[in-house]
């Protein structure tokens, strides 16, 4: 029997609408849903792999309990009830012994619901969920809240007259979401500026490409601001009425002449000037989010400030074709993250124990509380809550250290759900040591990953098409309906957290039996059930512009804070100041003799999504091995040819990847792929799926001096390395 069912793809952020083609109950093909009002029938090559993922023989289908030693690969299949009972019992005992802060959580990028996790943790009493948000979007969004009381969720790219891709490679990272919008803007005559050390596909078609030295973007931003002010290209009326701190900003950027910027960034002075003028005179203009800024360590938080300031002084906030952040009409009424997380339920005494807040003043609860208090001046439903980028978010390095040393207090238990800490977090060696030291480690995943292989309990996760979701952005809220019943004993994350919560005295806070019941509650204020939302696809809000004229901005002053009072009160730099990357030919010339090449990691590539798809045959056929991109001249000097295995080293260790000769970047730079492991290898120690062989994060440091002083963002880019031809017997030095 043939059947077509409407569902969605959740294999990356945009949640594209899909049609599942079933034969005798089995999905045989996945296509885009042409009636979906947002994605209109388009899906990418990864989305088409959904059925390979759904039925993959290596999927986890039942809960497992470790029976041998940690990482020995010996497991016993048990029931969900037994697994949840035992985990809850263990957690209860550990909480009695050490306090609730002894439990941590590691998160990855937004895959499943996330608020259910923070709800569970706030109720359990631990302030210590941690993970990749510290370098992904949190530096940008939390900082935008401090600057203009909201986060830019919907740059109106297609209607913009100038699009700046600043550390953003949308053709690879957002083929269905952002990239088509850039193409549309270009067709409509927009100028495109690309700031990227690599000549990406976007750069090839750009009006201006600034081949910046990694890690120096803030100097370029300060140069833009100086020039925009000096040449009177800013929006005088907006600045005088709606900003504070302009005079101080003007003074702070004074040293950043085009010549000085050229010296720091390697971008010729003429291009610094040309690009700043192009941006400032072709409004409305947008600068969408780009991870190239968030992942550069010491400067990342102030880069987010710099970008926010540039958007604001040129009058690009809340205008058609510009940067829009308020929630549109009905969408603002829907109960979302801020409503469900219950951050206020966590006692102050527990919040104070959050790991890392003593070092990074703007991070975690202290930063969130300031942002949240300032935001309260705005009417309810006007702005997405700042929770998701702050609040229950401890610093991963400090969490790992606490697990290993027991200081400042013992962290003995961890849950990982939709994350692969051995591949996603920097300093793999420390993460490995920490995961091994845990008394209780619980992982919920699709597959037995290298991180899961170190667990005490592993739970099988439902694929996105096996569960429902709502996808809420500033402008719309779409239903993402379940397409097929969960197979075997796979379940969604809500069932996992509710199952634990019900066993740990949180019954009254989990009244909704299923995730769709939760969404019925979310949608109550707009008079819909989840089913009705799914029938009509979603809810769209009426877009309004310049609403600050009515309400002001959600900052302490009610204006855009070019000089941030929140940063100042917390003891962080209220005005951006450039810092040289810690490892660089300028700041560490001696180290640069030994490690002469500039290293960037993690540039996105299709069809892989982080550490996923490595077990999917079609994906591996396309990209069978991890690749290091090297300029032809550099490769020749090093005696390397296309396809050779090369050793890449930093002071932290060495890994191996295959050489791809490419002139998209400077001869003094190399680019390595991130998140490589090998599901076909031994699933146990010492090999652990080859996780120590080609994993970029073995090379990335996370010590305090490498991290941004405001948030603690660590670097995955702007580092130094050495590349050599691999010699037999010197393979993979880090075991």
Ligand X SMILES: Nc1nc2c(c(=O)[nH]1)N[C@H]1C(S)=C(S)[C@@H](COP(=O)(O)OP(=O)(O)OC[C@H]3O[C@@H](n4cnc5c(=O)[nH]c(N)nc54)[C@H](O)[C@@H]3O)O[C@H]1N2
Choose the binding region for ligand X from 321-329, 381-389, 441-449, 585-593 (rule: CB under 6 A).
441-449
Site string for ligand X, 671-710 (x = CB under 6 A): ---xx--------------------xx--x----------
Does 15 participate in binding ligand SF4 (rule CB under 6 A)? yes
Rounded to whole angstroms, the Cα distance separating 218 from 256 reads: 10
Site string for Mo ion, 102-141 (x = CB under 5 A): -------x--------------------------x-----
Q: Smaller CB distance to ligand X: residue 111 or 351? A: 111
Name the closest residue to Mo ion (Cβ): 136
C-beta of residue 570 within 8 angstroms of C-beta of residue 359 = no
Choose the binding region for ligand X from 191-199, 226-234, 362-370, 382-390 (rule: CB under 6 A).
191-199
Q: Which two tokens stand for residue 516?
A: 């769709």
Does 718 participate in binding Mo ion (rule CB under 5 A)? no
Closest CA to 398 of 389, 406, 386: 406
Does 579 participate in binding ligand X (rule CB under 6 A)? no
Does 640 participate in binding ligand SF4 (rule CB under 6 A)? no
Rounded to whole angstroms, the Cα distance separating 273 from 148 reads: 26
Choose the binding region for ligand SF4 from 41-49, 152-160, 255-263, 309-317 (rule: CB under 6 A).
41-49
Residues 83, 138, 164, 176: which binds ligand SF4 (CB under 6 A)?
A: 176
Does 212 participate in binding ligand X (rule CB under 6 A)? yes
Does 610 participate in binding ligand SF4 (rule CB under 6 A)? no
Q: Smaller CB distance to ligand X: residue 246 or 714? A: 714
C-beta of residue 480 within 8 angstroms of C-beta of residue 20 = no
The radius of gyration of the chain from alpha carbons, rounded to an integer in Å, stands at 25
Token match 């979401």: residue? 177
**Nearest distance from C-beta of residue 170 to Mo ion, angstroms:** 14
Burial (CB < 10 A; 0-12, 13-18, 19+), residue 344, is exposed
Does 36 participate in binding ligand SF4 (rule CB under 6 A)? no
C-beta of residue 102 within 8 angstroms of C-beta of residue 94 = yes
Rounded to whole angstroms, the Cα distance separating 33 from 698 reads: 41
Q: Smaller CB distance to Mo ion: residue 136 or 328? A: 136
* Cβ-proximal residues to 149 (8 Å cutoff; 6+ apart), any chain: 371, 374, 375, 378, 383, 553, 554, 555
719 strand-pairing partners: 599
Q: Which two tokens stand for residue 146?
A: 């401090």
Q: Which two tokens stand for residue 641?
A: 């040819």
Choose the binding region for ligand SF4 from 38-46, 272-280, 298-306, 677-685 (rule: CB under 6 A).
38-46
**Nearest distance from C-beta of residue 699 to ligand X, angstroms:** 8
Token match 């109720």: residue? 123
Residues 136, 163, 206, 342: which binds ligand X (CB under 6 A)?
A: 136
Does 107 participate in binding ligand SF4 (rule CB under 6 A)? no
Site for Mo ion in 414-443 (CB under 5 A): none
Residues 101, 217, 466, 693: which binds ligand X (CB under 6 A)?
A: 217
Give Cα 562 to chain centroid, integer Å: 25
* Cβ-proximal residues to 473 (8 Å cutoff; 6+ apart), any chain: 153, 154, 331
Name the closest residue to ligand SF4 (Cβ): 47
Q: Residue 47 binds what, of ligand SF4, Mo ion, ligand X, none (CB under 5 to 8 Å, by partner type)?
A: ligand SF4
Does 466 participate in binding ligand X (rule CB under 6 A)? no
Choose the binding region for ligand X from 17-25, 66-74, 194-202, 371-379 (rule: CB under 6 A).
194-202
Give Cα 374 to chain centroid, integer Å: 25
Rounded to whole angstroms, the Cα distance separating 445 from 463 reads: 9
Does 619 participate in binding ligand SF4 (rule CB under 6 A)? no
Residues 90, 92, 172, 257: which binds ligand X (CB under 6 A)?
A: 172
Choose the binding region for ligand SF4 from 44-52, 137-145, 493-501, 629-637 (rule: CB under 6 A).
44-52
**Nearest distance from C-beta of residue 447 to ligand SF4, angstroms:** 17
Residue 549 has a CB neighbour count (10 Å cut-off) of: 10
Q: Which two tokens stand for residue 554?
A: 């959600």
The pairing of strands 413-417 and 440-445 is parallel
Does 12 participate in binding ligand SF4 (rule CB under 6 A)? yes
- What b/e readout covers 77-99, taking b as 16+ CB neighbours within 10 angstroms? ebebeebbebbbebbeebbeebb
- What b/e readout covers 437-465, taking b as 16+ CB neighbours within 10 angstroms? bbbbbbbbbbbbbbbbbbbbbbbbbbbbb
Does 114 participate in binding ligand X (rule CB under 6 A)? no
* Cβ-proximal residues to 489 (8 Å cutoff; 6+ apart), any chain: 61, 62, 63, 79, 80, 460
Does 27 participate in binding ligand SF4 (rule CB under 6 A)? no
Q: Residue 611 binds what, of ligand X, Mo ion, ligand SF4, none (CB under 5 to 8 Å, by partner type)?
A: ligand X
Terminal CA-CA length for the chain = 52
Does 480 participate in binding ligand SF4 (rule CB under 6 A)? no
Q: Which two tokens stand for residue 463?
A: 């694929």
Q: Which two tokens stand for residue 519?
A: 């969404």
- CA quadruple 620, 622, 624, 629: dihedral sign: negative
Rounded to whole angstroms, the Cα distance separating 18 from 6 reads: 6
Choose the binding region for ligand SF4 from 40-48, 345-353, 393-401, 697-705 (rule: CB under 6 A).
40-48
Q: Residue 84 binds what, of ligand SF4, Mo ion, ligand X, none (CB under 5 to 8 Å, by partner type)?
A: none
Give Cα 381 to chain centroid, integer Å: 25
Q: Smaller CB distance to ligand X: residue 346 or 691? A: 691
Residues 20, 22, 27, 46: which binds ligand SF4 (CB under 6 A)?
A: 46
Residues 603, 629, 649, 657: which binds ligand X (CB under 6 A)?
A: 603
Q: Which residues would be at the binding site for ligand X (CB under 6 A)?
A: 12, 108-109, 111-112, 132, 136, 166-170, 172-174, 195-198, 200, 212, 214-215, 217, 290-292, 295-296, 417-420, 423-424, 444-447, 449, 461, 464, 493, 600-606, 608-612, 674-675, 696-697, 700, 716-718
């Amino acid at each position: 029997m043939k059947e077509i069912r409407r569902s969605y793809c959740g294999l990356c952020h945009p949640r594209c609408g899909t049609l599942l083609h079933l034969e005798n109950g089995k999905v045989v093909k996945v296509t885009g849903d042409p009636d979906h009002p947002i994605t209109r029938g388009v899906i990418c090559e990864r989305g088409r792999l959904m059925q390979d993922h759904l039925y993959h023989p290596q999927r986890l289908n039942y809960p497992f309990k470790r029976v041998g030693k940690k990482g020995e690969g010996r497991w016993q299949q048990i029931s969900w009830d037994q697994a949840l009972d035992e985990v809850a019992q263990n957690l209860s005992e550990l909480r009695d012994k050490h306090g609730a802060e002894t439990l941590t959580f590691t998160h990855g990028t937004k895959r499943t619901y996330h608020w259910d996790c923070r709800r569970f943790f706030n109720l359990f009493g631990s302030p210590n969920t941690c993970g990749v948000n510290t370098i992904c979007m949190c530096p940008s969004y939390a900082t935008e809240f401090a600057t203009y009381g909201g986060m830019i969720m919907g740059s109106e790219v297609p209607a913009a007259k100038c699009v700046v891709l600043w550390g953003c490679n949308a053709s690879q990272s957002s083929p269905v979401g952002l990239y088509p919008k850039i193409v549309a803007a270009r067709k409509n005559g927009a100028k495109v500026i690309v700031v990227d050390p690599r000549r990406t596909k976007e750069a090839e078609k750009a009006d201006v490409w600034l081949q910046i030295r990694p890690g120096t973007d803030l100097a370029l931003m300060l140069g833009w601001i100086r020039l925009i002010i000096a040449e009177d290209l800013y929006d005088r009326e907006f600045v005088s009425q709606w900003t504070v701190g302009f005079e101080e900003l003007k003074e702070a950027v004074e040293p950043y002449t085009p010549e000085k910027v050229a010296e720091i960034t390697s971008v010729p002075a003429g291009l610094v000037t040309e690009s700043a003028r192009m941006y400032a005179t072709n409004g409305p203009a947008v600068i969408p989010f780009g991870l190239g800024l968030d992942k550069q360590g010491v400067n990342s938080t102030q880069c987010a400030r710099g970008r926010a300031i540039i958007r604001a002084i040129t009058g690009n906030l809340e205008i058609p074709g510009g940067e829009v952040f308020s929630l549109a009409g009905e969408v603002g009424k829907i109960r979302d993250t801020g409503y469900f997380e219950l951050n206020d339920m966590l006692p102050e005494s527990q919040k104070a124990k959050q790991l890392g807040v003593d070092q990074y003043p703007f991070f975690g609860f202290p930063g969130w509380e300031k942002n949240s208090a300032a935001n309260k001046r705005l009417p309810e439903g006007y702005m997405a809550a700042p929770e998701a980028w702050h609040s229950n978010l401890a610093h991963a390095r400090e969490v790992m250290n606490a697990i290993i040393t027991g200081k400042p207090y013992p962290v003995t238990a961890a849950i990982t759900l939709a994350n692969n800490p051995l591949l996603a977090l920097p300093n793999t060696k420390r993460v490995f040591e920490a995961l091994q030291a845990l008394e209780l480690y619980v992982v919920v995943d699709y597959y037995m990953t290298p991180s899961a292989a170190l667990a005490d309990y592993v739970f099988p996760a439902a694929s996105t098409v096996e569960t429902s979701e709502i996808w809420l952005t500033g402008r719309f809220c779409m239903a993402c309906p379940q397409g097929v019943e969960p197979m075997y004993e796979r379940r969604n994350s809500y069932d996992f957290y509710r199952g634990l919560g019900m066993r740990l005295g949180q019954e009254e806070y989990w009244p909704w039996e299923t995730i769709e019941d939760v969404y019925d509650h979310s949608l109550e204020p707009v008079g819909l059930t989840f089913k009705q939302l799914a029938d009509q696809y979603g809810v769209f809000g009426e877009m309004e512009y310049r609403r600050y004229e009515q309400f002001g901005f959600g900052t302490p002053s009610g204006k855009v804070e070019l000089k941030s009072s929140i940063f100042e009160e917390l003891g962080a730099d209220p005005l951006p100041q450039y810092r040289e990357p810690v490892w660089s030919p300028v700041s560490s010339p001696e180290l640069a003799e030994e490690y002469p090449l500039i290293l960037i990691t993690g540039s996105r590539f299709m069809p892989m999504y982080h550490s996923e798809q490595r077990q999917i045959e079609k994906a591996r056929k396309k990209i069978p091995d991890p690749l290091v991109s090297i300029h032809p001249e550099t490769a020749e000097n090093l005696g390397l040819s296309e396809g050779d295995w090369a050793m890449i080293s930093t002071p932290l260790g060495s890994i191996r990847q295959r050489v791809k000769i490419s002139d998209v970047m400077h001869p003094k730079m190399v680019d390595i792929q991130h998140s490589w492991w090998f599901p076909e290898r031994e699933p146990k120690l010492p090999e652990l799926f080859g996780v120590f062989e080609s994993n970029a994060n073995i090379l990335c440091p996370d010590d305090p001096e490498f991290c941004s002083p405001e948030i603690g963002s660590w670097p995955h880019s702007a580092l130094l390395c050495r590349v050599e031809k691999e010699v037999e017997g010197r393979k993979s030095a880090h075991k």
